[in-house]
Amino acid sequence: MRLLEFQAKELFGQYGIKTPKGRYSKNIEEAREHAKELGFPFVIKFQAPVGGRGKAGGIQIVKNQDEFELKYPQVAGMTIKGEKARAILLEKMAEYQKEIYLSLFLNRSKRCYTIIASGEGGVEIESVKNQTIREVGLGDVTPQVAEEVAKAIGLSGNSITDFVDMLQRLSKLTVEKEAELAEINPVALQKDGSLLALDGKIVTDDNSNFRHTEMEKYQEKTELEERAEKSGFTLVELEGNVAVVGNGAGLVMSTLDMLIDNGGKAACFLDVGGGATTESVYEALTLISKMKKVKAILVNLYGGIVKTTTVASAFIKAYDDKLIDLPVYARLMGSESEKSKEMLKPTKTKMYDSVEEAISGAVLGVSKNG
Amino acid sequence: MANIYELLRGTKDSSGNYQKMPVIVQGITGTFGSLHAKMMMEYGTNIAAGVTPGKGGQKFEDKVPIFNTVKEAVDATGAKISIVFVPAKFFLGAAKEALEALDAGIKLLVAIPEHVPIRDTMQVLDLAKQKDAIIIGPNTPGVMIPSLIKIGIMPASPFKHGNIAVLSKSGTLLYEISNALTKAGYGQSITIGIGGDPVNGTRLIDAFEMVKDDPDLKGMVVVGEIGGDSEEILAQHIIDTNFKKPIVAYIAGRNAPKEKRMGHAGAIVMGTYGSAESKVSMFNKANIPVGKRPNEVAMLLAGKLESKD
């Protein structure tokens, strides 16, 4: 899961990594209390799992109550890269001489963790110059390695000690919470040489969630996404009006790619998993029926082992139960496809021999009715 | 590193046929394990033993002996290959047991489970390195040499023996594209499922190294997807080694949103790390055409093979 900044900072706090004093809120009433407690000036920060918040205007300095009353609702009402604010963080400002970049990152192709650090932080990682990179196996960082990195990025004096301490704490967090990425960007190098984490980004391994019940409170899922997960599906909600359903992540991604190439707009990505049964497809249709924006369902199943009639039965049941009244454009690969076509004739499901034809059908159908 | 062809087909006997190498199934009595053990047997794979703790002494399908431990199963059968069907949270234990079985141990471990934590996979890979063993997966459909041996959960129908190696991160796209290749007359020499996890026991580059020297190899198909940079690294390796046989590719997820996991734990674009654009442009640099649709791949391969003649 990807933690929001204030959540990442909460974890930093638990691991003894220093952050500016801050409070998060879900509404302005709460925030007014925080404002009193913190005292002006401070920054208000838009909290959503996206980068580039500063550029988009999601981070604002407020100097007094009037500015606060004006800017809080502004920032809270923003949509940045399609994401609405999950919370707003009020945070004291720090005075510093320099911004540093620091992260521990799972390098997938090298199959080890790497430290990435630079004396020139504060910009997105792709633009960070003069990166110092060290491979550290499963993520444990020794004081020696941390010190080498500190010196390599040009730190001196007590900043080295502070950096070694911060990096080792970040390493402990990464290992214990099973993070794929733990990033502090920027780290503020303050006038007295001490370090402070001004931002935080943590992405943990979803497959390790079962042994991290303490992290459950950070889980951000829509009701439908949660329900999908319970059925062993993956559901990603999108903005368009054609629900894309299939078995296997690669196949559904490729279907989504082709739909969009052909001018369609996907309402969701729904992977029912490697196999497909009457029950799993019925449950997928149930989830889709709850999405108001959906105008058509595009189904691409490669049932190597599965009979297409098994899947066709799910559509028929869904229409019979009045679960859906939407047109379904389906390409079902597998045995008994002629029989399935016959079965589906009286319904709103159209069967196609190729996914390309099914996509054309869906795009055309939606534009006619839309 | 252990040679995958030797492990999968042994050496030819006096009449010129490859051996039926024994395979152990860990988790043979589970719903999923038993279904696929049966299907592998139907395909002709020599399922020599099963392992389920507490069920030692029983028989699977009235003929395959079940043991409590991998060690006993290896002792009894001499198997060097194991396929693992246990639930993700038990994978670490099951894989360790397999790799540590005897001094010889398992040399090829096919890891089917999805949702194995990365840390567990990394620990297993450390051990595999010490033991000089190949891990395929986790979250893989498996590996097969069509007409000879199938170790995995793939359906049999899309595949036909031939001279094209197919390496794929996705299971269903592997079936889909192999089916199209077969229909176009291009059978497969070997298919290797890389798996959809962030960390793979056999990366694309490792799979490439395993198959590239096969004298019968005529061409290769690489099926990648968004996430990580293993496609880029493979493309660079192909440029560096000046590999000349025809290769074509497909990349899934070109239109996927950023920062969202698209079904596979590994299919996520973080910033620009893992983007489809980066993969496609690297493949193009390596003179590897990338299909826009899975169905285009066989055509692209045909074009490559013909221009070579």
Q: Which of residues 73-102 of B touch A (CB under 8 A)?
A: 88-89
CA dihedral A138, A144, A145, A149 (to 10 degrees): 150
- The reply to whether B193 touches chain A by the CB within 8 Å rule is no
The region of weakest confidence among A23-32, A218-227, B260-269 is A218-227
Q: pTM for this one?
A: 0.94
Q: Is A113 a catalytic residue?
A: no
- Residues with Cβ within 8 Å of residue B302, at least 6 apart in sequence: B184, B186
| A98 alpha-carbon distance from chain centroid | 30
Q: In which band, very low, low, confident or very high, does the pLDDT at A222 lie, cut at 50, 70 and 90?
A: confident
**Residue A243 backbone dihedrals phi, psi, to 5 degrees:** -75, 130
In tens digits, chain B (309 residues) has pLDDT values of: 679 999 999 988 889 899 899 999 999 999 999 999 999 999 999 999 999 999 999 999 999 999 999 999 999 999 999 999 999 999 999 999 999 876 668 999 999 999 999 999 999 999 999 999 999 999 999 999 999 999 999 999 999 999 999 999 999 999 999 999 999 999 999 999 999 999 999 999 999 999 999 999 999 999 999 999 999 999 999 999 999 999 999 999 999 998 889 999 999 998 888 999 999 999 999 999 999 999 999 999 999 998 855
pLDDT of the residue at B36: 95
Residue B258 or A307, more confident: B258
In this structure, chain B runs to a length of 309
Q: Which residue from B157, B170, B292 is facing A261, i.e. has the nearest CB?
A: B292
Give the residue from B205, B196, B191, B289 showing the smallest Cα distance to B249.
B289
Q: How far apart are CA A272 and CA A4, in angstroms?
A: 28
Mutate to test the interface with A, among B172, B234, B268, B278 (most CBs of A within 10 A): B172
The reply to whether residue A111 touches residue B169, judged by beta carbons under 8 angstroms, is no
Q: Which residue from A138, A206, A248 is facing B171, i.e. has the nearest CB?
A: A248
The reply to whether residue A236 touches residue B262, judged by beta carbons under 8 angstroms, is yes
- Containing A228, the helix (H) or strand (E) segment is helix A223-230
Chain A residues whose beta carbon lies within 8 Å of the beta carbon of residue B259: 2, 49-50
pLDDT of the residue at A125: 85
The reply to whether residue B198 touches residue A249, judged by beta carbons under 8 angstroms, is no
Catalytic residue among A5, A91, A99, A183: A183
The reply to whether residue B256 touches residue A256, judged by beta carbons under 8 angstroms, is yes
- Residues with Cβ within 8 Å of residue A303, at least 6 apart in sequence: A247, A276, A310, A311, A332, A333, A334, A335
SS3 A368: helix
Chain A closest CA to B187's CA: distance in Å?
A: 17
Q: How far apart are CA B256 and CA A335, in angstroms?
A: 30
CB-based contact B23:B150 (threshold 8 Å): no
- The reply to whether B203 touches chain A by the CB within 8 Å rule is yes
CA distances for B118 relative to A266, B129, B143, B188, angstroms: 30, 16, 21, 31
Instruction: Name the amino acid, one letter, at B230.
Output: S
CB-based contact B202:B135 (threshold 8 Å): yes
Chain B residues whose beta carbon lies within 8 Å of the beta carbon of residue A354: 295
pLDDT of the residue at A26: 95
pLDDT tens, residue by residue, A355-370: 999 999 999 999 987 5
Contacts of B270-273 with C-beta under 8 Å, sequence gap 24+, read B270/A181, B270/A203, B271/A51, B271/A124, B271/A125, B271/A126, B272/A126, B273/B228, B273/B229
pLDDT of the residue at B1: 64
Chain A closest CA to B200's CA: distance in Å?
A: 8
ipTM above 0.90, yes or no: yes
Neighbours of B147 (CB within 10 A): 15
